[in-house]
Each structure stands twice: as C-alpha cells, then as structure tokens.
Amino acid sequence: MTYKVGLLGLGTVGTGVAKILQDPAGRHPLLPNIEISRVGVRSLAKQRDVEIDPNIVTDDLESIVNDPAIDIVVEVIGGIEPAKSLILKAIDHGKHIVTANKAVIARYGNEIFSAAKQKGVYVMLEAAACGGIPVIQALKQSLGGNRISELTGIVNGTTNYILSRMYFEGADFDKTLAESQQLGYAEADPTADVDGYDAADKMAILASLAFGDRIKLEDIYREGIRSITSADIGYAKELGFTIKLLGIARRTDSNTGGKDDSNLEIRVHPTLIPIQHPLANIHGVTNAVRIEGDPIGEVVFSGPGAGAGATASAVVADIINVVAALKSMPNNVNQLMGCSHEHYAKIAPIENTVTQFYARLLTHDKPGVIGDLGTAFGKHCVSLNAILQKNTIHDGLAEIVVVTQRVSEYNFQQAISSIRDLPTLHSIPTVLRVL
C-alpha cells in the first residue's frame, strides 16, 4: 500500500525531501511506499531544482489540505502564516502533519497539539529543532526511562558560525556578521538568529519534550550576541573559556533554593563555557545538544544545525515514522509519537538564576578602583573568582574583567547597579553568564 504525501512548499527543504523520496535506493525500505501526490507552491512559474510532474503542482495550497486522498501533509513553507492555518485545516481534515516550522510550533503548539489529539492524528516535528540532530525522537522515546534534569544546547548555526570565527580569527562582531551575510550563513535581516529568537523557539520545543510541560515562549529569558566583542572573546580565551550562544533549560528543584514555586529555568544567552566542556568544541554551523538524565548521565548529540539536507533528512524520518505507524495500526495513535502535555511549566524568573558571571568594565585609571569594585561586589554577597586588569588602554581608561563565583542574578545585578554609580566607573560594555 502506498501512502500519499501532500507537500506544502518546494524551497530548499521541500526540494530536499522530494529528492530523497525520488531516490530510495540504499535508504529505508519503507520509502518506496511513500508517494508525493501533490505539491503546493507559491509561484508556479519558478524554476525548481527537482523534477516534479507539473500536473501535481498547484498554487492552491488549501486544495491540498482538503484533498481526501492525502494521508500526510508535510509543511515546509516556514513563517507563521499561511503555515499555521494550513496545518490546523489539515488536522481538521484528519491529515497527519510533518512540519519543520519551529516558529509555528513554539507559538501555537498548544492549539495544534490539542487539535491533533482530538482528531487522533500525528504532528511530527523532528525537523523543527536541530534537524540534523535526531534529538526529538531521543527525547520522546530513547531517553524515556530517564528523569531529565538539564538540557543545554548550541541550537543556532548562524550565531555559532559567527562566534567560532570570532574565536579563531579574533575578528569583531560587525565585520564577521557582514562576511557571514555575504557567504550566505546569515540572513540579510539577522535579527532572528543574532538576537536569539530562533534559539528560543527551539529551546521551547526541546525543553517541552525534555521536561514534559508546555512552555510559553515569552517566559524564556533571551539575550543575543550583538554585545560580544573581540576583546571579550580574548579575555574568555585567556580565562580558559569559549563564548557560545547557549540555550539552557533545567529543573529548578535544587538550583533556586526554593525561592519561587517554579519547576523549570530556561534561558538563551551568550555564555562562557569552559574549554574542556563537550559543547565548547562545537564549531561553525554545527549544532549540539547535551542532555543530563537519571540514570543515563550525560549524552551529547551533534550534527548539522540546518541546511536543506539535514532538515529534509528529519522530515523524511518523520514521514517514515508516520507511515510505519499507519501500516501497522491505521486507527490508533502510538502514544510515544504524540505530544500530550497538558500543563504549563512554571518558569523561574531570571532574577532567581544562580550562576557565575563575567563582566568587562572600563574605569578611570585612578588609585582605589579595584577596592571600590571589590567593596561593591562584596556588599551584595558577590564573591569573585578571577579578576584581570590589563594595561591602561586609552584616554585614561583601564579595562578590568571580573568572573564571579556562583551567585544569584538578583544579587549580581544589584552589585552592577551600585557599581554603575561609582565615580571611578566609565562604563560596563559587557556582562555575560558563565556555564
């Protein structure tokens, strides 16, 4: 029996999916049972990199989600609309969904999964977060025996590419971003990547699967990498760290010391990582996710973060999963493939985070500056782990870098606030958290 796929979108990912399905030799034996029966595109005139029978291509996307012959709708259009409405309509018509759309899932997963549950259809999203790393299925199934305590990840390829180049070349952010845009590694409007929105979308999806609760995107603390300078990278190196845009999600049972009734801490921000940490050596556009669970301990997955091949691979894996399930049990849903979270996670406010901090300060080069800083930190119970002062740089300003011990975000921000009032302080160009 053949299963019919309606493909919404024939950009790079859609093209990649079509190519895999057209060339099944040496791949999974189920592939020949899958047929692309209709393809929806925005422009019929556009030249494509794959041969598709023109009779099955349409620009009437609605006609695909309504088509009674179609079993699985694969949504690889991207963006919020019309993707979201098409997914919901397809579910309403009893289609199973495979999507690569992190933006829609992170924002409307609630609505979509509730609808899917009611209709008894699958919504598969391996491609929506780190397509090149088979981490979603691991979270849904392979790690099911574990109580997961922490999930950290380099989940955005563009920022990792930029930070890797800054690390190896000592280059500045603006220059590196411009070059990355020229090379096609960063978008013309890089906001979604460099300001951490894309990473936050992915962390919402991954954390929801890891911890079994729904996550509201607006609860995720988010900070991008625009403030990172080559000076910070240099100091980080000297102190034995690298800087990565990291997504961090962990249970708060132990970490917040019961300051709130949260069960989860989740944040995306540039982070100093000790150079021997498994995520510190993930460079370029590669993504990696580290999961800590009981009893498994530490598991790390790495792979291509994005790109047509990786995303198409994940989409096809999801199609295969749905087809295998449909073959053996057309009328029942396999619980491992569904998403059945009913409750929202209680996310701890960022002030309650306990972590180490890195700060780079510019001060007027006068006697007593270090003493002033030390007093201000001490007053707010912030102990220091390292302090570096290099030569006076220019205009009578001295650059001082401090790394704190583990302290609460609240205490640290209080200390920073009182330091800003010091007459000897010029400015605090960078404040970063340390893993």
Catalytic sites, residue numbers: 202
Give least dist CB 221 to a copy of itself, A.
Answer: 23
Which among 309, 199, 206, 184 is positioned nearest to 264, based on CA atoms? 206
Give least dist CB 1 to a copy of itself, A.
Answer: 12
DSSP-assigned beta bridge partners for residue 245: 270
SS3 content of the chain, % helix, strand, coil (to 5): 40, 25, 35
Give least dist CB 245 to a copy of itself, A.
Answer: 20
Tokens describing residue 343: 């409750």
Which is closer to a copy of itself, CB of 123 or CB of 402? 123
Give least dist CB 427 to a copy of itself, A.
Answer: 38
Which is closer to a copy of itself, CB of 108 or CB of 161? 161
94 torsion bin: left (phi>0), alpha (psi -120 to 50), beta (else)? left
* DSSP one-letter string for 353-376: -EEEEEEEEEEE--TTHHHHHHHH
Q: Please report, as ranges, the residues that interact with a copy of itself according to CB under 8 A.
A: 16, 19-20, 25-31, 126, 132-134, 137-138, 141-148, 212, 278, 281, 293-304, 307-310, 312-317, 319-321, 324-325, 327-329, 332-337, 340
Which is closer to a copy of itself, CB of 112 or CB of 317? 317
Tokens describing residue 421: 């009032």
Give least dist CB 321 to a copy of itself, A.
Answer: 6
Which is closer to a copy of itself, CB of 247 or CB of 293? 293
> How far, in Å, CA of 96 to CA of 71, rounded?
6
Give least dist CB 175 to a copy of itself, A.
Answer: 25
Which is closer to a copy of itself, CB of 236 or CB of 315? 315
Which among 307, 1, 283 is positioned nearest to 132, based on CA atoms? 307
Let me know: does 16 contact 312? Beta carbons within 8 Å: yes
Is cis: bond before 295, omega within 30 of 0?
yes
Which is closer to a copy of itself, CB of 47 or CB of 331? 331
> How far, in Å, CA of 175 to CA of 17, rounded?
35
Residues 6 or more apart whose CB falls under 8 angstroms from that of 406 comprise: 354, 355, 356
Three-class DSSP category at 286 = strand
Which among 151, 140, 150, 143 is positioned nearest to 339, based on CA atoms? 140
